[in-house]
Structure 1
Amino acid sequence: MADIDAILPSHSLDAEKAVLGTFFLNDSAVDQTQSILSVSDFYDPRHQEIYRCILKMVGEGLPIDPMILIYEFERKGILEKVGGAVYITGLEQSVISPGNVRHHAKIVRDCSFRRRASNALLKLSEHAASDISEPQEIAARAATLVDGFAKGLSFTTVLSSEESATIAYDHLISEDENKGFGIPTGLRKLDWLLHGLQPGGLYIIAARTSVGKTSLAMQIGLNAHNNGYGVSVCSFEMDALEIMQKIEAQATKIPVEKIQYGKTSDGCKITEEEITQVADFLERFRQSNFFIYDDSMASAEEIISQCLAIKTKQPQIGLIIIDYLQLMNKKEKSENRNLELGHITSSLKKMAGKLKIPIVLLSQLSRGIEKELKPRRPRLSDLRESGAIEQDADVVIFIHRTSEQNECVVADDIELIVAKARKAKVGICNARFVKEITLFQDVDK
């Protein structure tokens, strides 16, 4: 006959009893486990009800006493449902060492995680078996389910003032020259203003069409890659080949026209040496953690699921780039486009915080700025279908071609305007955009 425990969902009744029994011996044990355990983590329904009542008693300032607990259950008429008075008072006998309560709590939480994982996989199996499910829908559902049961995997801890002060002091005396510095963009003054791209930040790069939004984003991605970070690019506008051709031009300084067409518009052909140079770069790039997702029909929910799935599979991913906001749509479209985009930017901001990595989101500017008689620098109010974009963004960077203001300035002169910076500095960085290699370069002024 099969062992009944082998076919039951993962659980440890002994660990559950030890945790609850410890609460009767030491009130402070509740403080040690509240950041780890929730009521649903207990497998036995009796233990769920007992833990729920204990948390209520703590909230009301009552001592954790078996007799008070029994009285509460009698008053509610559910004493027998939770095992009776003998069962509750006997929980103390399950405790071998009260000092191990946190360890026992983690056993309970681990079992709870395994049950959630099993349930998620069962649901996914049922979804995959459905003939009406498309492969992309199954993949998106898988990422959503994985994210759902993984939410409670890491244990959070409430830090005391002593622990918090220790962390702050260790950071203060650290000799790391780059402490607090995020992922470098590769542009010196921009990095000085931003202190690099910070974990959990939502960075908006906005400009009119054909000014270089995608080129700047890919340059930042390439620089992150060169500094050892994994990168995930989600593109609604360009396919993987177009993106790679920009990156090849930036990395090798070979004109993008040569890479795309074999020659420039004035007839200058790509040389064997240049072909070898690009091939060598691609051979090195082949081994890197740089992912491109170029499904222009994907919904915002699918993009988020894809990002979560890639990060789960490739923990070294340190940067996500999305090109671009106005091409994103939710599965259930809203009559109010501003509200819809607001939901998208809010979700992306939450994802950045959850994954603890920066997200670079490209955005168009309103066409209204093009209709104005006198050219000017962009403002935050120029963000197209702005909605909550400005509110959700940690940083907003405008790309502004200065020749629009002064005809004497060559067309390649650019201002990178940091118009909003939640934890950094606002300011203007002068740069030059070399179109033939799609590369932004620092300019000292």
Structure 2
Amino acid sequence: MDAMAAELGKVPPQQLEAEQSVLGGILLDSGGLPAALEVLKGDEFYRDTHRVIFQAIQELFERNATIDLLTVCDHLGQKNLLESVGGAAYLASLAEAVPSASNVAAYARIVSDKAVLRRLIQVSAEITSWCYAGGKKIDEILDQAETVIFSLAERRVRSGYHSIKEVVKKSIHIIEELYDRREMVTGVPTHFRDLDKLTAGFQASDLIIIAGRPSMGKTAFALNIARNSAVESRVPVGVFSLEMSKEQLAMRLLCAEARVNSQKIRSGFLSQDDCAKLITAAGQFNDVPIVIDDTPAISTLELRAKARRMKADMDVGMIMVDYLQLMRGRTGIDHREQEISEISRSLKALAKELNIPVVALSQLNRKVEERSDKRPILSDLRESGAIEQ
């Protein structure tokens, strides 16, 4: 941190009093440590000596040992670190100076916030150096920049625990609402009767995988679901098409709506009746809440950023990805199966974050065709990894 200060000519964001209060509060009452550990990992402390003291406290906690002024001093002494952190006198001063041992969580949040600001300064400097250095493609720089920024945001946002009383109360409220509505479909309707009967609609925060071999109708089926949800139920749908262009998808939607053979469009042999049907179908899509992004080989970070914007702009109610194996994961992943696993986890996290269903199309491998029983099983998912879960 001293190097950062020297480089910038300024003292980086920090709050030494908050750091001292976290440590002093724990030394007085170790009951505040679990709350601090929900916020801090240890590297958030600006002063190196404070990091060493907190690490010693963590080590005692992991051993289920008593944590107080005496035991922490003894542990640091055994590691020949006591004098380097200021000796027993400094630790005693921490315990004496803390305003209130009951406010450790609040002090820890201050320490964490200052650490995030310092990390942002550091990341900004790194991004600047990448831009000046050259040698990297702009997409690679953007991907790396998004990765480090999102990692900061994800680390900061942590879900706390909730009492079963609180969770049950909310669950009863949901059950009462469902009872009052008494509807077969409680999620996003697909308007495929048997599918809606099985799923009660696609539920918020779910990642749904639609899998099949190439040219078996995955895209057509997914587009029908998107069309039905948007047209019949007015649910805004975002479609990420990695295989087909937006024009190809639009033609498929028009052909399905107008009930015109797509082969006629490709060949140009359309009757006047066909043209009239297509024009009528096009008019019906004027106010349908479907948006299409056909960025090829889109990365998980780019897709998440665009999905967030869709949520902000049009309150998107469902996301579709066609198809999963054409996406890119984070840079630096060597094995394709690991990359697909990372992509599927990212899509599941997106579904939870936006609280909407995310539908991802996936390829099946050739094994399904080699068996006498052609019914697919989970292990038939190509580069399955975490998709099976």
Q: What corresponds to 1:363 in structure 2?
A: 362
Instruction: Give the Cα–Cα distance (whole angstroms) in 2 for the partners of residues 72 and 61 of structure 1.
Output: 13
3-state DSSP of counterpart to 1:196: coil
Instruction: Give the Cα–Cα distance (whole angstroms) in 2 for the partners of residues 318 and 74 of structure 1.
Output: 58
Q: What corresponds to 1:310 in structure 2?
A: 306
- Pick from 236, 241, 246 the counterpart of residue 252 of structure 2: 246
Code of the aligned partner of 1:292: D
Instruction: Give the Cα–Cα distance (whole angstroms) in 2 for the partners of residues 93 and 223 of structure 1.
Output: 67
Change (3 A) 1:311 1:115: farther
Q: What corresponds to 2:100 in structure 1?
A: 97
- Pick from 18, 21, 33 the counterpart of residue 21 of structure 2: 18
Instruction: Give the Cα–Cα distance (whole angstroms) in 2 for the partners of residues 190 and 58 of structure 1.
Output: 51
3-state DSSP of counterpart to 1:151: helix
Indicate yes or no: 2:340 matched with 1:345: yes
Count residues in correspondence: 370
Indicate yes or no: 2:383 matched with 1:380: no
Instruction: Give the Cα–Cα distance (whole angstroms) in 1 for the partners of residues 26 and 332 of structure 2.
Output: 47
Please say if residues 202 and 359 of structure 1, whose CA atoms lie closer than 8 Å, have aligned partners that are also in contact: yes
Length-normalised TM-score, structure 1: 0.69
Q: What corresponds to 1:278 in structure 2?
A: 282
- Pick from 134, 139, 142 the counterpart of residue 136 of structure 1: 139
Please say if residues 42 and 51 of structure 2, whose CA atoms lie closer than 8 Å, have aligned partners that are also in contact: yes
- Residues 328-366 of structure 1: per-residue CA shift (max 9 Å, x gap): 5777897xxxx72x3243112311332215442323445
Q: What corresponds to 1:83 in structure 2?
A: 86
- Residues 8-53 of structure 1: per-residue CA shift (max 9 Å, x gap): 3322212211211111222211122222211112222111111111
Structure 2 counterparts to residues 217-296 of structure 1, below 5 A? 217-222=222-227, 231-247=237-253, 253=258, 255=260, 265-271=270-276, 275=279, 278=282, 281-282=285-286, 284=287, 290-295=291-296
Please say if residues 252 and 262 of structure 2, whose CA atoms lie closer than 8 Å, have aligned partners that are also in contact: no
Instruction: Give the Cα–Cα distance (whole angstroms) in 1 for the partners of residues 332 and 33 of structure 2.
Output: 43
Shift of 1:133: 2.6
Q: What corresponds to 1:194 in structure 2?
A: 199
- Pick from 25, 28, 43 the counterpart of residue 31 of structure 2: 28
Change (3 A) 1:32 1:332: closer
Aligned identity (percent) is 25
Q: What corresponds to 2:168 in structure 1?
A: 168
Code of the aligned partner of 2:322: D
Instruction: Give the Cα–Cα distance (whole angstroms) in 2 for the partners of residues 333 and 80 of structure 1.
Output: 43
Instruction: Give the Cα–Cα distance (whole angstroms) in 2 for the partners of residues 261 and 387 of structure 1.
Output: 33
Shift of 1:311: 4.2
Code of the aligned partner of 1:281: F
- Structure that is richer in helix per residue: 2
Change (3 A) 1:230 1:72: farther
Q: What corresponds to 2:217 in structure 1?
A: 212
- Residues 241-294 of structure 1: per-residue CA shift (max 9 Å, x gap): 2223434566x65748599689873443534x9647635734x45xx6835133
Indicate yes or no: 2:69 matched with 1:73: no
3-state DSSP of counterpart to 1:378: coil
RMSD: 3.9
Indicate yes or no: 2:349 matched with 1:354: yes
3-state DSSP of counterpart to 2:275: coil
- Pick from 120, 128, 141 the counterpart of residue 125 of structure 1: 128
Unaligned runs of 5+ in 2: none
- Residues 386-428 of structure 1: per-residue CA shift (max 9 Å, x gap): 3436x6235xxxxxxxxxxxxxxxxxxxxxxxxxxxxxxxxxx
Indicate yes or no: 2:322 matched with 1:323: yes
Please say if residues 10 and 114 of structure 1, whose CA atoms lie closer than 8 Å, have aligned partners that are also in contact: yes
Length-normalised TM-score, structure 2: 0.78
